[in-house]
Amino acid sequence: MAVARKSPKKPLNNRTSHFIMIAILVIIVISIITLWLDTNTPTEFNNTEFMTRLENGEISSIEVTPMAGDTNESIWKVTGEYSGGDYETTFANDYELNEVRDYVLNNEDGHEISYRVVSGPTTNIINIIFPILLVVGVVIMIVAMMRGGSNANRQAFDFGKSKAVQSKNEKTTFDDVAGADEEKEELKEIIDFLKNPKKYLNLGARIPKGVLLVGPPGTGKTLIARAVAGEAQVPFFFVSGSDFLEMFVGVGASRVRDMFKQAKTHSPCILFIDEIDAVGRQRGTGLGGGHDEREQTLNQLLVEMDGFGANSGVIVMAATNRVDILDPALMRPGRFDRQIFVGRPDIKGRAQILKVHSRGKKINPDITFKEIARRTPGFTGADLENLMNEAALLAARENKPQIELSHIDEAVDRVMMGPAKKSRVFTKKEKDIIAHHEAGHAVIGIKLENANIVHKVTIIPRGKAGGYNLMLPKEEQAFLQTRQNLIETIIGLLGGRVAEELVFNEISTGAHNDLQRSTAIARSMITEYGMSENLGPITYEKESDKVFLGRDYGKSKNFSESIATEIDKEVRGIIHESYEKAKKLIKDNMDLLKTIAHYLLEVETLTKEDIDEIVETNKLARWDDIIENDDKDIVERDDENKEESDSKENPKKDKDNQAE
Q: How far apart are CA 267 and CA 248, in angstroms?
A: 30
**Is 438 an annotated catalytic residue?**
yes
Q: Give the list of residues 6+ apart from residue 183 with CB closer than 8 angstroms, or none.
A: 213, 224, 340, 342
Rounded alpha-carbon distances, angstroms, from residue 597 to 139, 332, 359, 425, 464? 84, 59, 40, 19, 21
Q: Is 534 left (phi over 0), alpha (psi -120 to 50) or beta?
A: alpha
Helix (H, G, I), strand (E, B) or coil at 62: strand
Q: Which of 183, 293, 438, 488 is catalytic?
A: 438
CB atoms within 10 A of CB 520: 12
* Nearest residue to 607 via CA among 408, 462, 417, 428: 408
Q: Which residues in 238-250 are b (16+ Cβ under 10 Å) and which e?
A: bbbbebbbeeeee
Helix (H, G, I), strand (E, B) or coil at 66: strand
* H-only helix segments in 307-404: 328-331, 347-357, 369-374, 381-397
DSSP state of 218: T
Q: Which sign, positive or negative, has the C-alpha torsion 611, 616, 619, 624?
A: negative
Q: How far apart are CA 543 and CA 564, in angstroms?
A: 17
Q: 478, 346 in Cβ contact below 8 A?
A: yes
CA dihedral 561, 564, 569, 571 (to 10 degrees): -170
Q: 262, 164 in Cβ contact below 8 A?
A: yes
Q: How far apart are CA 240 and CA 280, in angstroms?
A: 12
Q: Are strands 43-44 and 468-472 parallel, antiparallel or unpaired?
A: unpaired
Question: Phi, psi (5° rounding) for residue 165?
Answer: -100, 130
Q: How far apart are CA 207 and CA 190, in angstroms?
A: 7
Q: What is the DSSP track for 236-303?
A: EEEEEGGGG--SSTTHHHHHHHHHHHHHHHT-SEEEEEESTHHHHBPTT-STTS--HHHHHHHHHHHH
Q: What is the DSSP track for 378-414?
A: T--HHHHHHHHHHHHHHHHHTT-SSB-HHHHHHHHHH
Residues with a known catalytic role:
438
